[in-house]
Amino acid sequence: MTKTPQEFKYTKTHEWVRMEPDGTASVGITDFAQEALGDIVFVEFPQAGATVKAGEAVGVVESVKAASDIYAPVSGEIVAINDGIPDHWEEINKDAFAIWLYKLKPSHPDELKALLDATRYAAMAEASK
């Protein structure tokens, strides 16, 4: 059973977004994405300092089954990557919502309004099963 935390926003490409008190957005993959991929074995991260556009592929998540692009939920600058992940791939497999992959500083905060809330995301994910 996948979970969908209410306080997050979601993309149609199965990334979650959590706004932080400092104005950055933490980004990770959803449980739905992790379950579809299977056990995660590698993440190709975006480059810190890169400027990205909403919807742009910024990295790749690889699993024992497949590889899938990671997309930027909103436009902005990548300000951090979670460099602790390479030593702990299994943590994404245990709880995808507990592990952020990268953080970005939105350049157009109004783009956040286009993201899905938990209810709409859960309905979309369920319909795609």
* Residue 27: closest CA among 90, 89, 88, 77: 77
Q: Which residues 6+ apart lie within 8 Å of 120 measured at CB?
A: 10
DSSP letter string, 71-96: E-SSSEEEEEE-TTGGG-HHHHHH-G
Question: Phi/psi at 33 (nearest 5 deg)?
Answer: -65, -45
User: pLDDT 10s digit of each residue in the chain, 129 long?
Assistant: 568 999 999 999 999 999 999 999 999 999 999 999 989 988 899 999 999 999 999 999 999 888 999 999 999 999 999 988 877 778 888 899 999 999 999 999 999 999 999 999 999 998 987
Integer Cα distance of 89 and 41 in angstroms: 6
CATH number of this structure's domain 9-127, picked from the four choices 2.40.50.100, 1.10.10.1100, 3.40.50.1980, 3.40.50.300? 2.40.50.100
Domain boundaries, the chain: 9-127
Q: How far is CA 25 from CA 33, 42, 66, 67, 112, in A?
A: 19, 22, 26, 24, 10
